[in-house]
Each structure stands twice: as C-alpha cells, then as structure tokens.
C-alpha cells in the first residue's frame, strides 16, 4: 500500500506548492511505501505566518487547559498504538515491539509536558523599596523551529512538541523526510485533542534550505535540533548569528567501563541488549566497551554468543529481534567503519558484513584487537557494532573514555561502591548508566556535555527551553 505524506499546516494536509515529492523507503525491503511532499520557499513563508498567528491563539489558552489537551493527545495516541507502531516499523525498520514502546514513550512525553504546563508558576520577589515587588514571569518564547531525526522519529519529536506546546508556543517541526508517518500521526493526535491548528506545522523538504529559511525568519524565536554534531554546529551558528537560543541534542560515543568485580555474563547480556536495540542507532547506545582484563575473555565470549544468536529480519515479523539499518547511508557508514578497523588489524568475532542484498541489514558485529587509530573509536558508529577493548589501569581507561569531543552517555559496571562513585564522578558525560541500560523517561532531564549538546530535554525543566522571563518591577 502506498501513501502520500503531505505537509500538515493549519490542521490540513496538502502537497507543497511546487508539487515536489520524494519516495519513502521501507528499510527492510528498499521499496517505496509512499511519497513525502516537499515544502517550497513560498510554502515556508505561509507556514511561518500561520505559526505566528497560532502562537497568539495557543498562548491565550490557560496552562490548565493546555495540560488537559496534551493529556488527551497522549490518550488518543495510546488508543492507536498498534496502527501507529506499524507505520513506524514500515518507515524506520525497528521491530514492532520496539515501535510500540516508542509510541507509548511519546505519549508519556506529551502527557508529562501537559502536567508541567499545569505547574507553571511565576515568582514574586520582594523589592528593595518598601511595599514594592518584582514579578518574575514565564512567557512562551515564540514560534519554535524543530528539526528531528529518523532513529526515534516520534519519541524525539514528542519531547519538543511536549515542551513547546506545554509552554504555550507554536511549533514548526521538520522531521526527517525518511520517516514522515509517525510524526504526522502524533501531530494529528494533538490536533484531534484540541491544540490550536495554526500552532502546529509538520513539514518536509530539503533540510538545508528549510533550516536556513526558518532560522532567518523574524517570527521564529527558538531553534531545537536532535541529530549529528556537524549539523548541530551549523544550525547553532546560524541561530547564534540572529541571537536566537538553541537546544541541541547531538551525537555521542558512549564508553562502557566494565570492572572485574561484576558477573561478566550478566553484564554482557545487559550490554548486548542495549547495544543492538534499534540496530545500534541510538545516541545513548554503548559504543566503546572497555572491559577489565581479568574478565575480558568471559565477557567477550558471552557478548559474541548474544550477538550471533540475535534474529535479524523484517521488523514486521514478530520473531525479529533486530531490524535493518534505517537507510542506505548507515549501511555504507557501518561497512566503512568495520572495513577500516579490519584493515588496521581488528579481528571480527561476530558479524562484520551486510546480511542479504535486499534492504539495509547489517549483522550484529563484535570487534576485538581494535587499534586506537581505528575510525570506529573516534566517529560515532550509530549502528550494530561493538568494539571490545581491554583495560588494566583505571586512570588510563578514564583518559580514553573522556578523550573524545563527545559528552552524552557513558556506563559503569561495578559493585564496588567507592569505585562506582569515583568513576561516575570522573566521567565527563551528561548521562551515566550504572549497572544497567539507559533510556530516557520524561520525568528526568537529559542532555549532552561538551560537543554533544546544549540544554536538556524532559524532567521538571521540560518547559524551560520554551519560556522567556519577563521581570516586572512594581512600586
Ligand atoms: P546528517 O548529519 O546528514 O543528519 C542528521 C540529522 O539532521 C538527520 O535527521 C537530518 O534529516 C537532519 N539534517 C541534516 N541537515 C539538516 C539541516 N541543514 N537542517 C536541519 N536538519 C538537518 O546525517 P544522517 O546520515 O542523517 O545521520 C548520521 C549521523 O547523525 C549519525 O551518525 C549520528 O551521529 C547522528 N544522529 C544522531 C541522532 C541523535 O539522536 N542524536 C539521531 C540521528 C542521527
């Protein structure tokens, strides 16, 4: 069945004014599942003007009612989980069970944004002149331009919709054109729940011209992006030139430090699951496995067994545990990283090659003897490849763990309380997983350090990036 994924503007779906569109591919087959409409510059002018009207209407809705509306949208999404999860699997490739979790998690974010809207509270500070006071008021920042990726197309967009709409902003979201269906489904749930139609736009098209256009538009007050560090730098520079604030959730290259005191088999089971979920296309995913020499052999043997046992296939098949990579670019990138490591002397303990010649499948891969200069130890792999690296000295392993420009996620496995404290304190990362996997739940803020980002998403702070403060001094 082929679908048309149109622009969603002011509550209506429509093609772009030039009629331009691109096919959307199912990564399990490489075949088209429909076409996505591209917005032209003319469309963008109209979309920005609509959003500027939308924010005037939506910010006038009380925070209490905005909260009710976002909660209703979450319920609508949950009621439709099966259909939405299927469209997510078809466009992104992940196994259906993982797609269902993503839809549920997206609903949780919308609900959480709504709950926090109900807790918006301005502050009154006594003034220095007797009887005077200062009000510190939260105001919606304005129209938000949001750029979201293809790995968790719905969940990563839900954080931005929840924060922006909860705060009373209008949002223009440009998801990846490779995964249009799930964000459109979420936006429709928001509209059905009663969000002002003009306050939501979902658009697709050529990423560069769209981001240039939106960031330069005077009506757009805030830029939020989830994706790669190079694109994040580009967007932050463009926004900085206009003195527009940004929220940047960028890439990572998560070190895992597995200490000799843990059960190696148990740690390998947990970490193999974390590594191969979503075919490794997760910014929080463990990607450099430093294992203490005393347990390295046992850990590696179990990790390899887990990688080999994984059932790779079409995400629509209930037996599938790992789906394809999301697009042909990832297949090329992973192939290049593994070939580079092999050429430099790495041994392939599992996988190491494409699976079949249809779709974008790559085998769960484990590498050993990877030299420091291999590209995979410096570039975010964003795929199902695990390099296992031995260590004996804690200072040295910390130096390596902290030695890159990334600062998103990291992991520590140890039952020694002092060592746990020492390592978590020393890791220069915004997120640390201790003795377990990492996922982002709405109730806790999360963001990257160093080049991995600016700002956080989620938590009681979820609305902060979408508010600006007005200081009113009353005598
Ligand atoms: P890319 O760097 O071309 O794009 C990254 C994302 O940014 C995509 O979603 C893309 O649609 C979007 N994008 C590209 N140019 C843009 C622009 N000018 N304005 C706005 N958005 C733009 O690479 P890619 O091949 O799509 O992804 C590869 C790398 O991206 C991965 O290796 C990973 O490092 C990173 N990535 C990170 C996340 C994350 O969750 N942090 C998600 C997806 C991709």
Bridge partner residues of 391 (DSSP): 292
Q: Which of 34, 277, 355 is nearest to 177 (CA)?
A: 34
What does the block give as tokens for 146? 């949001």
Whole-angstrom Cα distance, residue 332 to residue 41? 32
Q: Which pLDDT score is estimated for 62?
A: 98
Instruction: Catalogue all structural domains in the chain, each as residue range(s) with its CATH number.
Output: 3-250+449-474 (3.40.605.10), 254-434 (3.40.309.10)
Q: How many Å lie between the centroid of ligand 1 and the Cα of residue 435? A: 29
The residue-averaged pLDDT of 342-365 equals 98
d(CA 42, CA 210): 11
Q: What is the pLDDT of residue 176?
A: 98
* Tens-digit pLDDT profile for residues 412-471: 999 999 999 999 999 999 999 999 999 999 999 999 999 999 999 999 999 999 999 999
CB-count exposure of residue 19 (10 Å: 0-12, 13-18, 19+): exposed
Residue 328 Cα to ligand 1 middle (Å): 14
> What pLDDT shows up at residue 356?
96
Which of the listed residues 228, 287, 337 should we mutate to test ligand 1's pocket, taking the one with most ligand atoms within 8 A of CB? 228
* Measured distance CA(273)–CA(264) in Å, rounded: 14
Catalytic, 259? Answer: no
Question: Rounded to the nearest whole angstrom, what is the distance from the C-alpha of residue 227 to the centroid of ligand 1?
Answer: 4
Looking at the predicted structure, is the pLDDT value of residue 392 above 80? yes
Q: pLDDT of 226-239, one tens digit each?
A: 999 999 999 999 99
Task: Say which residue the tokens 């009710």 belong to.
Answer: 68
- The predicted-structure confidence for 177-193, as pLDDT tens digits, reads as follows 999 999 999 999 999 99
The single-letter DSSP state of residue 446 is B
Q: Cα(first)–Cα(last) distance of the chain, in Å?
A: 66
Centre of ligand 1 to C-alpha 440, Å, is: 19
One of 173, 283, 285, 380 is an active-site residue; which one?
283
Which tokens belong to 13?
Answer: 């779906």
Dump pLDDT digits (tens) for 6-57: 999 999 999 999 999 999 999 999 999 999 999 999 999 999 999 999 999 9
Q: Is 200's pLDDT higher than 60?
A: yes
Q: Are 289 and 256 in contact (CB under 8 A)?
A: yes
* Whole-number pLDDT of residue 1: 57
Contact residues of ligand 1, CB 6 A cut-off: 147, 149-151, 176, 207-208, 211, 226-228, 230-231, 235, 249-251, 283, 329, 380, 382
Is residue 445 within 8 Å of residue 431, measured between CB atoms? no
Tell me the C-alpha distance between 182 and 156, whole Å.
11
Place of tokens 């089971």: 269
- Is 173 in the active site? no
**Is residue 334 within 8 Å of 362, Cβ to Cβ?**
yes
Q: How far apart are CA 255 and CA 403, in angstroms?
A: 10
Confidence bin at 2 (pLDDT 50/70/90): confident
Whether the predicted pLDDT of 141 surpasses 90: yes
Q: For 412-425, what is each residue's pLDDT tens digit? A: 999 999 999 999 99
Give, in degrees to the nearest 5, the angle at Cα 308 between 271 and 335.
85
């Amino acid at each position: 069945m082929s679908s048309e994924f149109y622009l969603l503007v002011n509550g209506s779906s429509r093609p772009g004014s030039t009629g331009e569109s691109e096919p959307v591919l199912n990564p399990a087959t490489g075949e088209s599942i429909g076409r996505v409409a591209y917005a032209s510059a003319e469309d963008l002018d109209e979309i920005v003007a609509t959003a500027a009207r939308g924010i005037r209407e939506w910010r006038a809705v009380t925070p209490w009612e905005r909260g009710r509306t976002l909660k209703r949208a979450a319920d609508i999404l949950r009621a439709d989980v099966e259909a939405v999860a299927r469209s997510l699997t078809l466009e992104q490739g992940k196994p259906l069970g993982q797609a269902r979790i993503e839809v549920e998690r997206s609903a949780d974010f919308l609900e959480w944004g709504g709950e926090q809207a109900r807790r918006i509270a301005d502050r009154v500070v006594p003034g220095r002149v007797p009887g005077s006071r200062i009000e510190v008021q939260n105001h919606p920042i304005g129209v938000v331009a949001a750029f979201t990726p293809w790995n968790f197309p719905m969940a990563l967009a839900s954080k931005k919709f929840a924060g922006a709409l909860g705060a009373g902003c209008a949002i223009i979201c440009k998801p990846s054109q490779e995964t249009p269906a799930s964000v459109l489904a979420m936006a429709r749930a928001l509209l059905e729940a009663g969000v002002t139609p003009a306050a939501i736009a979902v658009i697709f098209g050529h990423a560069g011209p769209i981001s240039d256009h939106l960031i330069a538009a005077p009506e757009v007050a805030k830029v939020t992006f989830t994706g790669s560090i190079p694109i994040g730098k580009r967007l932050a520079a463009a926004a900085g030139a206009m003195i527009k604030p940004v929220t940047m959730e960028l890439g990572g290259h998560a070190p895992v430090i597995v200490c000799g005191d843990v059960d190696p088999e148990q740690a390998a089971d947990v970490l193999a699951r974390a590594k191969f979920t979503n075919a490794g296309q997760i910014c929080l995913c463990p990607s450099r496995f430093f294992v203490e020499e005393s347990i390295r052999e046992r850990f590696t043997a179990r990790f390899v067994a887990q990688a080999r046992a994984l059932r790779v296939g079409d995400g629509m098949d209930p037996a599938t545990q790992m789906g394809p990579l999301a697009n042909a670019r990832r297949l090329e990138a992973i192939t290049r990283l593994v070939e580079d490591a092999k050429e430099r002397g790495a041994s392939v303990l599992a996988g190491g090659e494409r699976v079949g010649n249809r779709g974008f499948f790559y085998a769960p891969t484990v590498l050993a003897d990877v030299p420091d200069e291999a590209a995979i130890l410096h570039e975010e792999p964003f795929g199902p490849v695990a390099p296992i690296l031995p260590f004996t000295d804690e200072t040295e392993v910390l130096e390596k763990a902290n030695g890159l420009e990334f600062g998103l996620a990291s992991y520590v496995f140890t039952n020694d309380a002092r060592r746990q404290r020492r390592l978590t304190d020393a890791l220069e990362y915004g997120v640390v997983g201790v003795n377990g996997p990492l996922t982002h739940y709405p109730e806790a803020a999360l963001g990257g350090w160093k080049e991995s980002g600016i700002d956080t998403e989620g938590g009681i702070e979820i609305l902060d990036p979408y508010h600006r403060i007005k200081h009113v001094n009353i005598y």
